[in-house]
Amino acid sequence: MGKPTGFMDYERCEARSIEPKERIKNYNEFHVFLSKENQQKQAARCMDCGVPFCQSGATIAGMTSGCPLHNLVPEWNDLVYSGNWQQAYNRLHKTNNFPEFTSRVCPALCEKACTCGHWGDAVSVRDNEHGVIETAYEKGYAAPHVPKVRTGKKVAIIGSGPSGLAAADQLNQRGHEVTVYERDDRVGGLLMYGIPNMKLEKHIIDRKIDVMKAEGVNFVTDCNVGKDIKAAELLKQYDRVILCCGAKKPRDIKAEGRDAEGIYFAVDYLSRTTKSLLDSNLSDQNYISAKGKNVVIIGGGDTGNDCVGTAIRQGAKSVTQLEMMPCPPVERAENNPWPEWPKVLKTDYGQEEAIACFGQDPRIYQTTVKEFHKDKNGKLNGITIVSLESKKDEKTGRMSMVEVAGSEKKLPAELVLIAAGFLGTEDYIAKAFGVELNERTNVKTETGSYATSVKNVFAAGDMHRGQSLVVWAIREGREVAHEVDESLMGYSYLSIQ
């Protein structure tokens, strides 16, 4: 441990955010990171505690505490503090294939479980991780590493999101010939078109993909497996196939007037905006515009927040975000102790921007849409919302949110974005390969395994576990790579932690 008193000597200091009214003028990332010297001081705050929950990835009370990738946080924090950036990168990259992604979009489960954070302010782990990976690119530590030996085995990976990329990276380094198929025109999956530029600029993805190409990974874009190429053909060409197609079937809202023009799924809204931005800087107009409109977003998670930030950048007249659940407490409740994930109020960048632009938090809690209204031309012009309360079902004994009689209220709305989560994998790819689905419509496998019901076909990521975080997708990609490698070679030395 480099500085035993670091957590007492230095206050937590994070990357500075550009002011909301300034950053909404563009779609760029808006964090200004610390100098290397100051980042080293932040790394000195790591206590090297006896039980580092930050890297545990344990499930406590049904929630993940610490990093599912089991990143060696105390080790590389100490290396950063001492200025040994190359070894810090080596230790970080040992467990995490894509710190350039996680240091930008991960909700930092490591920090929420930080022992230092139990008593004061957590170590700025995510910013330290960002410093490590960006220094690695700057100094050449993250340059391509081409495998010296090839096995002659061929693996196809369907989907280029974080799980597919992680599996590809691992299996390629093992020496297998890996080809990744992507139905969109750009590689990245959720990272490319599901996450706005403000959180992850796309040249960051391209930079890593260029490294993977140089290392020998093959990428095929604009190829919708199951439609453009048959599953049977891939099973003939490759020794193993891994399905990493995500869980992109959006949950709908069933209410009167749902057929009104002006109601879209959030995933379509965000992806079309990002594609237009990348293709033409929005000049092609091939996106859903919120300009001059009263926008209502149904759903309060990360996707809903991304819709808030995007709508504001497009020039929305107003933005309202509907949350079914009650407003969380500002501080941990007694029944939510550390190191559990803190179920507390989080005001993210989109909500910060709405407060700055419109003078109030856009979120309305314990409410949902009861009816969509449309004009004579079928275009959306308003909604009726209704308040909800928690009540116990007399038959099942379960608590559920039910309408409060007489609480209806009308809101103006010309654009509604549904960000109510996802229901599982899209059916056509599962049918193309003939794999079984479970009751949650995810691909079915044995517990602890990634092998599907079809010989030589595996599944990982959201398609396997359901909608989740990027870190979980990367972990699943690493684990499926280990299992596939073992099935090909009879053993595997690929790391899964």
Q: What is the pLDDT of residues 189-236, one digit of tens each?
A: 999 999 999 999 999 999 999 999 999 999 999 999 999 999 999 999
Strand 263-265 with 415-418, pairing: parallel
* Res. 340: pLDDT tops 70: yes
CB atoms within 10 A of CB 331: 9
| Assigned CATH class of 6-139 | mainly alpha
**Looking at residue 3, what is its pLDDT?**
83
**pLDDT by residue (tens digit) across 92-141?**
999 999 999 999 999 999 999 999 999 899 999 999 999 999 999 999 99
Q: Which of 237-246, 287-296, 396-405, 460-469 has the lowest mean pLDDT?
A: 396-405
- Cα angle 152, 487, 431 (rounded to 5 degrees) comes to 100
Fold matches, 154-248+423-489 and 263-418: yes
Query: Percentage of the chain surpassing pLDDT 90?
Result: 92
**Looking at residue 48, what is its pLDDT?**
77
The domain ranges of the chain are 6-139, 154-248+423-489, 263-418
Q: Please state, in angstroms and rounded to a whole number, the distance separating the CA atoms of residues 305 and 274.
A: 15
Q: Strand ranges (DSSP E) for 1-89?
A: 16-17, 31-32, 58-60, 63-65
Q: At what angle do helices 85-95 and 73-81 cross, to 10 degrees?
A: 170
Is residue 129 within 8 Å of 111, Cβ to Cβ?
Answer: no
* Res. 397: pLDDT tops 70: yes
Q: State the architecture of 154-248+423-489 in CATH terms.
A: 3-Layer(bba) Sandwich (3.50)
Fold adopted by 263-418 = FAD/NAD(P)-binding domain (3.50.50)
Is residue 124 within 8 Å of 77, Cβ to Cβ?
Answer: no
**pLDDT by residue (tens digit) across 142-156?**
999 999 999 999 999
Closest CA to 106 of 362, 475, 426: 475
* Res. 2: pLDDT tops 70: no
Is residue 435 within 8 Å of 427, Cβ to Cβ?
Answer: no
Place of tokens 């760029």: 28
**pLDDT by residue (tens digit) across 170-185?**
999 999 999 999 999 9
* Res. 55: pLDDT tops 90: yes
Distances (CA, A) of 54 to 6, 117, 127, 246, 339: 17, 10, 14, 27, 9
Q: Please state, in angstroms and rounded to a whole number, the distance separating the CA atoms of residues 169 and 178.
A: 9
Task: Fill in the amino acid letter for 40.
Answer: Q
Across residues 476-490, what is the average pLDDT?
A: 98
Closest CA to 309 of 297, 293, 298: 297
Task: Fill in the amino acid letter for 51.
Answer: V
Across residues 255-275, what is the average pLDDT?
A: 97
* Res. 443: pLDDT tops 80: yes
**Looking at residue 411, what is its pLDDT?**
98
Structure tokens at 365: 């809690």
Place of tokens 């950048």: 313
**Looking at residue 111, what is its pLDDT?**
97
**Looking at residue 1, what is its pLDDT?**
62
Task: Fill in the amino acid letter for 345.
Answer: L
**Looking at residue 426, what is its pLDDT?**
87
Structure tokens at 136: 């690695």
Which residues have a Cβ under 8 Å from the Cβ of 380 and sit 6 or more positions away? 257, 260, 261, 262, 263, 372, 373, 374, 413, 414, 415, 416
Across residues 314-329, what is the average pLDDT?
A: 97
What would you report as the CA-atom Rg of the chain, rounded to the nearest whole angstrom? 23
Structure tokens at 370: 């009861």
Closest CA to 240 of 460, 36, 34, 423: 460
